[in-house]
Amino acid sequence: MQKDLKNGRILTSCPIDEILPELKEAIRKHSSVVLQAAPGAGKTTRVPLALLDVIPPEKGRILMLEPRKLAAVSAARWMAKTLGEEIGQTLGYSIRFDSRVSKETRVEVMTEGILTRRILANPDLAGVAMVIFDEFHERSLQTDLALALCLDIRRALREDLKILVMSATLDGGPVAALLNGAPVIPSRGKAFPVEERYCVDHPDQSVTARLPDAVGRALQ
């Protein structure tokens, strides 16, 4: 990780960077896209920033759904830091009892429940250009409901509403079929070799007593 001292931005390199041009082109051409990226690829914090080049401000805001409050806040804060900005400027978040957004906000990270309530208040999602479903493999009733509502909105009111489904482990085929044959874009993750070592068993010792020796051997 490097820091651009002139602009205050954090410069990082992630495995997903390799497919960002392909992803951006797919978003331009299709209303729905499925992204398969292994854990550690960088999809949560790299993709929304890359799509700022695809979705102009006049088209509306990008909403990204996260399954947990902590993930939503952490992702938004890191992306804001990457741009060298304070939270609530280009990047913002909305969770229960807390919201940091402004008129400048172009990417708003939120939990699924917030989106559901947003749709109830704004049935055509006016001012929203795109909805990103992150960590879609963590399927929940809220996630499925949010996706169903977005598909209904696009079918009845907003043909221009774009949907991106991102998953680390879920097979993208069935989701792509649900999205009327959306293209599936794969991205490799960041893998490290794993070596298995077995320590000599000492039944007379507790696990806590054996732990320092096991850690020491692993670090050799």
d(CA 112, CA 37): 21
Q: What is the pLDDT of residues 67-113, one digit of tens each?
A: 899 999 999 999 999 999 999 999 999 999 899 999 999 999 999 88
Tens of pLDDT, residue by residue over 140-194, are 888 889 999 999 999 999 999 999 999 887 777 888 888 888 999 988 766 666 7
The domains found in the chain, sorted by start residue, are 2-195 (3.40.50.300)
Mean pLDDT of 110-122: 91
The secondary structure of 70-90, three-state, reads HHHHHHHHHHHHHCCCCCCCC
pTM: 0.80
pLDDT band at 12 (very low <50, low <70, confident <90, very high): low
Instruction: Count CB neighbours of 197 within 10 A.
Output: 8
Residue with tokens 């001012």: 127
